[in-house]
Amino acid sequence: MTEPATFLLDGVEIPFAPGQTVIQAALSAGRYIPHLCYHPEFRPHGSCKLCTVKVNGRTAASCTLPAQAGLEVESETEELNSLRRTLVQMLFAEGNHFCPSCEKSGNCVLQALGYDLKVMSAGFRHFFPDRPVDASHPDILLDFNRCVLCELCVRASSEVDGKRVFALSGRGADKHLIVNSASGLLADTDMALTDKAMEVCPVGVILKKRAGFAQPIGARRYDTRPISAQALEDAPRPLGQGHCEACEASE
Amino acid sequence: MTDLASLLERHGCRPEQLLQILIEIQARAQWVSPEAQQQVADALGLPLARVQGVIGFYAFLSDRPWGRYRVLFSDNVTDRMLGSRELLDRLCARLWVERGHVSGDGLVSVDFTSCTGLCDQGPGLLVNGHAIPRLTCERVDRIADLILAQQPLEAWPADLFDIEDNVRRADLLLGHDLALGEILRSVRAATPEAILAEIKKSGLRGRGGAGFATGLKWEACRAAPGAQRYVVCNADEGEPGTFKDRVLLTRQADLVFDGMSVCAWAIGASQGFLYLRGEYRHLLEPLNAALARRRAAGLLGRGFDIEIHLGAGAYVCGEESALIESLEGKRGVPRNRPPYPVTHGYLQRPTVVNNVETFAAAALIAHHGADAYRALGTAKSAGTKLLSVAGDCARPGIYEYPFGVTVRQVLADCHAEDAQAVQISGPSGVCIDASEFDRRIAFEDLPTAGAFTVFGPGRDLFEMARAYTDFFAHESCGFCTPCRVGTAMLKGVMDKIAGGHGAPCDLAEIEKLDKVLHQSAHCGLGHTACNPTLDTLKRFKPTYVRRLKHQDFEPAFDLDGALERARQMTGRDDVGAHLGEETVE
Amino acid sequence: MSKLKVATTSLAGCFGCHTSFLDIDERLFTLLDLVEFNRTPLTDIKHCAPSDLGLIEGGICNAENVHVLREFRRNCKVIVALGACAVTGGLPAQRNHLDLGACLTEVYLTERGMAHGLIPNDPELPLPLDKVHPLHEVVRVDYFLPGCPPSADAIWAFLTDFVAGREPRLDYGLIKYD
């Protein structure tokens, strides 16, 4: 077997398999790059731009950037982390992310990114969106005001659940998540608590009813351990230890 | 709805035809009703939400009725300079309707839309998708009367819809006099390899703005694995201030189709598409007639044919991968690249996407040879360039020059010697001032997709930048965080300054937004969204500074005004019911 | 060396951030060796003298909040937005998607038991703004300390850094938005 090809990430050699993108290879190799819309079980999406890195002097989203031998990739730099902080601030300003009353607080990826990147301020004027919540479903609540438009639920419902419950409409600042039923209500879909779409929402849009605030503060996912450490545990197995799920998912 | 059933059948119930089907439904009913949405979804085997998502993406499609007459005023800065906003108010007053609302009887609605490409004969509007140029009070009154009389659009006087070409200077492309079929006869006598070599040798670069080498693109597509290849002509001329493709497609449609056929010959494609922006709907019938003539003449249909797809009001579809998504009937969101369209384009197959003007030039290169072409222009920018000249000049219209012409020369030719600024290549291009008028239109100096918008001495360049900022916020596809949120925030900052609430801290916020957009936006729309603001800040800073308050910080809103609602509710007007301005920081 | 002067106030907040501040417990003695308080609910001093640091809890929901915030901005070299409401508007800002007039009508006029209701109009009362704003939308803010409330440890870490002349920086676990 020949040695796998490598690229450099912040000066460290990262091996990669053909078809892997930079973030997939980096996570497999135990190197974290901040990300929000990327999920190891799904095809890279490239919309949140938090995983932006610098490659040979140019910026690119590392989730969609194919790994190539010899690339010199920078990620852990003040310049890029400053960009990521601004992007997190933009997402907070765009939605109605009032953490103290959000059931997702403590388990929210957007919040965890803010903690890890040390986002201390709002930075921008808030948009205060006013979209009606959908409480029609007996078990599930949708709060569209918190949507970061990562499309993970769209992808999960279509690719894993085979139900195509979610889609996007509008454009620009008016872009928003919609539900696939004649009434537009979740109750009129076949969405179920066991759906993959239920678990992939990184923020507090898709919530299980009557289950909020169950974990005490301190015991929630990101209370004590940063997302940078935990994301690596979710990453696909390293090269050489069987097949790579991420590569299969990206086929 | 048997009508709808036959429409669906005509489109073969193919999901790629979704956008075209919705455009036809919209044209018939002026909206796409929930029943129609469901029927389309069922027939095409798509989720209803997919259909709704497409309707929600395109400005010319609607999921609620906008009146039997939907009037959309072009809102380019050139339209504004010609008084479009006052004319809109006049029409609204005549029709007793508020902008952005449907009249109580469901008859009419009036609103704005992005630049419709009639800048040389503005202000322009679209009524149910049909373009009307040269608006005046008199023409607006006629339109109001026709609407109030509920005259069907087909019965409106034809002179309202007359669009002029305004060709002021013709050169290679606009001046050619080859007979129909002549180009393809000489091309078919050569091998595809020889044609490709000639295109490469000519140094032809894309005319849509990015300037990628056409020969390399064709070669990469030809070399890409796959049995089926496509040629796509990008006639989604959405850059505000640009209208040269409209004129090329009006006067030289065959030259453009020749170019597409040349490309098909060179890369081995059997199918071509012309993606025509919805604003140029009036060109659809003449273009289809031209295609029919070509089929009759044996210039099409023998191994290669061309189909026209319409856009529906989405500037971002001018980006080639977004255009391909739109051709496939989807929301026009730019794809992740790589892979590029040359290997994974339409239906993931090898595809060449070129601008209208690029194809026209390619056709002449294939016929006359690369050397003849290279004899025009500069060493690095071969050939000619069509400029869409509009704004404060006596002779707006289309000017075709060999590359290398100075801005000063163009200004002299269009009689705008007193210009204070020119926006080159539209809002995503660059704004230059009088000290730069000796610069040249060329890839190596001032590259351009064709817009040449002139601003005379009295114009306020801040307002120009603000108009362009509105445009980008309106046209952002919303896919990526920086552009979706950043363009809306930039609009917020510009509105804050325009509203008299600006402070130096806002200039810092503009720079912060520009940095984020440049570093991380998904496509060119986001990368360039701050350009008009930054260019004018650099060259015309006083127009900003005189609007700013002196203190470092100023709220975006009027604090005293924020108490107005409470004053109304309590009936109070005492001193404590007001907030004065804070002047000391 | 003279002590740093510190002022604090709670605007559209719940005093939770001040309570959390007091939760630094015995460290208060250490703090009092280093700083001197002027206007704060803890000292009951009513107006802000020139200060080095102003800690402000709560967002801006009425005219009085604006006056107090401006007084702090005029008098404090450094302003800190303390807690979720000061940083983002917080809970009070959840009324921002409602019309203020409709709110007042419902609460004082149409709600059951309000037969002789009257929207309070005493000049002594500050008028509410149509929207609730975080501090940085009304004045320039120098530092932000998020949390609902920020923990005593976070407040302590911030203050000790600030008093020592270091750029305040919080370790993981001290930055919280809830």
DSSP string covering B457-491: TT--HHHHHHHHHHHHHHH----SHHHHHHHHHHH
> Touching check for A179 and chain B: CB below 8 Å?
yes
B241, B424 in Cβ contact below 8 A? Answer: no
Contacts of C74 in chain B (CB under 8 A): 584-585
- What residue spans in chain B does CATH classification 3.10.20.600 cover? 384-455
Q: Are A82 and C158 in contact (CB under 8 A)?
A: no
Q: Is residue C109 part of a domain?
A: no
Q: Do A171 and B478 touch (CB under 8 A)?
A: yes
pLDDT of residue C113: 77
Give chain A's mean pLDDT: 92
Q: Cα–Cα distance between B193 and B265 in angstroms, integer?
A: 9
Q: How many domains does chain C have?
A: 1
pLDDT confidence of residue B583? 57
Residues 6+ apart with CB under 8 A from B574: C123
Distance CA A65, CA A67 (A): 6
User: What is the distance, to the nearest Å, from the Cα of residue A116 to the centroid of all Cα atoms in its chain?
Assistant: 14
pLDDT in the model for residue C115 = 66
Query: What is the CATH class of B461-545?
Result: mainly alpha
Q: Where in chain B is the domain with CATH 3.40.50.11540?
A: 167-374
pLDDT in tens, A196-235: 999 999 999 999 999 989 899 999 999 999 999 998 887 7
- The CATH number of whichever domain residue C67 belongs to comes to 3.40.50.700
State the chains in contact with C (3 or more Cβ–Cβ pairs under 8 Å). A, B
Q: Inter-chain contact B57–A61, Cβ cutoff 8 Å? A: no
Has residue C61 been placed in a domain?
yes
Average pLDDT over residues B542-564: 91
| CATH number among 3.20.20.70, 3.60.21.70, 3.10.620.30, 3.10.20.600, domain B384-455 | 3.10.20.600
Assigned domain for C142 exists = yes
CA distances from B212 to B209, C3, C54, C153 (A): 9, 65, 56, 57
Question: Does C128 sit within 8 Å of B566, measured CB to CB?
Answer: yes
Q: Is residue C172 part of a domain?
A: no
Residue A234 pLDDT: 75
Would the CB atoms of A90 and B49 count as touching at under 8 Å? Answer: no
What confidence tier does B2 reach under pLDDT thresholds 50, 70, 90? low
pLDDT at B1: 52
pLDDT tens readout for residues B246-286: 999 999 999 999 999 999 999 999 999 999 999 999 999 99
Q: What is the pLDDT of residue A195?
A: 97
Nearest to B61 by CA among B89, B36, B31: B31
Residues 6+ apart with CB under 8 A from B114: B59, B74, B75, B76, B238, B240, B313, B315, B471, B474, B475
What pLDDT was estimated at residue A232? 87
| CA–CA gap between residue B309 and residue B277 (Å, rounded) | 8
CATH architecture of B69-161: 3-Layer(aba) Sandwich (3.40)
Contacts of B211 (CB under 8 A, 6+ apart): B205, B443, B447
Shortest Cα–Cα distance, A112 to chain C (Å): 9
Q: Which residues of B touch C66 (CB under 8 A)?
A: 559, 579
DSSP secondary structure letters along chain C: -PPEEEEEEESBS-SHHHHHHHTTTTHHHHHHHHEEE-SBTTTTB-SPPSEEEEEEESBEEEHHHHHHHHHHHHHEEEEEEESHHHHH-TGGGGGTTS-HHHHHHIIIIISTT-TT------TTSPPEEEEEE-GGGTS---EEE-SSSPPHHHHHHHHHHHHTTPPP---TTT----
pLDDT single digits (tens) A32-77: 999 999 999 999 999 999 999 999 889 999 999 999 999 999 999 9
Per the CB < 8 Å rule, is A171 touching B481? no
Distance CA C82, CA C135 (A): 10
Task: Convert the pLDDT of each residue in C14-60 to its tens digit.
Answer: 999 999 999 999 999 999 999 999 999 988 898 899 999 999 999 99
B479 to chain A, any CB pair closer than 8 A? The answer is: yes
Helix or strand or coil: residue A176?
A: strand
Per-residue pLDDT of chain C (178 residues; tens, 9 = 90+): 689 999 999 999 999 999 999 999 999 999 999 999 999 998 889 889 999 999 999 999 999 999 999 999 999 999 999 999 999 999 999 999 899 999 999 888 888 777 677 899 999 999 999 999 999 999 999 999 999 999 999 999 999 999 999 999 999 999 999 9
Q: Would you call C87 and A121 a contact, using CB atoms and an 8 Å cutoff?
A: yes
Tell me, yes or no, whether C31 lies in a domain.
Answer: yes
Q: Which residue of A has its CA nearest to B52?
A: A169
Whether the link from the prior residue into B482 is cis, omega within 30° of 0, is: no
Residue numbers in C near B555 (CB within 8 A): 133, 137-139
User: Helices B531-539 and B461-475 meet at what angle, rounded to 10?
Assistant: 170
Binary contact (A98, C91; C-beta < 8 A): yes
User: What is the domain range of residue C131?
Assistant: 4-96+127-163
The stretch B292-299 carries a mean pLDDT of: 97
Chain C positions touching A106 (Cβ under 8 A) are 178
Residue B560 CB burial class (10 angstroms; 0-12, 13-18, ≥19): middle
pLDDT at B553: 87
**Separation of alpha carbons A109 and A107, rounded Å:** 7
The reported pLDDT for the residue numbered C156 is 97
Of A47, A124, A174, Cβ closest to residue B489? A124
- Nearest residue on chain B to A178, judged by CA atoms? B49
- State whether residue B338 is helix, strand or coil: coil
- Spatial distance between the Cα atoms of B407 and B446, rounded to a whole number of angstroms: 9
**Banded pLDDT at B17 (limits 50, 70, 90):** very high
Banded model confidence at residue A248, pLDDT cuts 50, 70, 90: very low
Please indicate, yes or no, if residue C42 is contained in any of the structural domains: yes
Residue C106 lies in a domain: no
Chain C contact for A111, CB < 8 A? yes
Is 70 exceeded by the pLDDT of residue A243?
A: no
Per the CB < 8 Å rule, is A99 touching C84? Answer: yes
Query: How wide is the angle at C-alpha B232 spanned by C-alphas B226 and B236, nearest 5°?
Result: 150
Span B437-446, average pLDDT: 97
| Shortest Cα distance, chain A CAs vs residue B155, angstroms | 34
- Cα(B381)–Cα(B315) distance, integer angstroms: 27
Determine, for residues A102 and C136 on separate chains, whether the beta-carbon distance falls below 8 Å: no
Spell out where A164-250 has E strands.
166-169, 176-179, 206-208
Residues of chain B with CATH 1.20.1440.230: 461-545
pLDDT of residue A245 exceeding 60: no
| pLDDT tens, residue by residue, A166-198 | 999 999 999 999 999 999 999 999 999 999 999
| Assigned domain for C119 exists | no
Identify the CATH homologous superfamily for domain B167-374. NADH-ubiquinone oxidoreductase 51kDa subunit (3.40.50.11540)
Domains and CATH numbers, chain A: 5-81+226-249 (3.10.20.740), 84-222 (3.30.70.20)
Mutation for testing the A interface, residue in B113, B479, B518 having most A CBs under 10 Å: B479
pLDDT at A233: 81
CA of C16, closest CA in chain A: separation in Å? 13
